[in-house]
């Protein structure tokens, strides 16, 4: 049962979905308020599991440090951002909203290419 919670709202899923929705709802900014992040996160993902990563990605460090949710999570702003950087940016820790948005667009393109490739294989292999 615990394993299913770990799989929910992964870093990859957060980075793929949340930046474009923040942009659509609140326009381009360098950072977003915790309230803005939470509203988009819960709407997009259906729960607040792993929201600490979204706060570390999209809010300022000062906002992150002031949140009761993050004070109890056991990880610092820097530790969470390092996890994100390892997963999405080959360890480059100085990502910003623009790089997260760019990553989300690349992820969508990769998914589309994989889907088209899978369809092509289905057509080519059928007897």
The pLDDT of residue 107 is 59
| pLDDT band (50, 70, 90) for residue 30 | very high
Q: What does pTM read for this prediction? A: 0.77
How many helices (H) and strands (E) are present in the chain, helices listed first? 8, 0
How many independent structural domains does the chain possess? 1
| pLDDT band (50, 70, 90) for residue 5 | very low
| pLDDT band (50, 70, 90) for residue 24 | very high
Give pLDDT tens digits for 56-71. Answer: 999 999 999 999 877 7
Q: How deeply is 64 buried, as exposed, middle or buried, from its count of CB atoms within 10 A (0-12, 13-18, 19+)? A: buried
Percent of residues, the chain, with pLDDT higher than 90: 65
Q: By C-alpha distance, which of 99, 93, 90 is closest to 78? A: 93
Give pLDDT tens digits for 104-117. Answer: 888 544 443 443 44
Which sign does the torsion angle of CA 87, 110, 108, 105 carry? Answer: positive
Domain range holding 74?
2-125
The pLDDT of residue 71 is 78
Give CA–CA dist 86/62, Å, rounded: 23
The pLDDT of residue 22 is 96
């Amino acid at each position: 049962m615990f394993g299913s919670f770990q799989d929910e709202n992964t870093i990859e899923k957060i980075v793929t979905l949340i930046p474009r929705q923040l942009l659509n709802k609140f326009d381009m900014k360098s950072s977003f308020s915790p309230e803005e992040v939470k509203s988009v996160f819960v709407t997009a993902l259906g729960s607040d599991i792993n929201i600490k990563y979204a706060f570390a990605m999209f809010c300022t460090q000062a906002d992150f440090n002031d949140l009761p949710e993050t004070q109890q999570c056991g990880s610092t702003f820097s530790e969470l951002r390092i996890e994100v950087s390892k997963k999405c940016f080959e360890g480059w820790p100085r990502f910003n909203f623009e790089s997260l948005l760019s990553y989300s667009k690349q992820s969508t393109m990769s998914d589309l290419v994989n889907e088209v490739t899978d369809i092509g294989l289905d057509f080519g292999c059928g007897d």
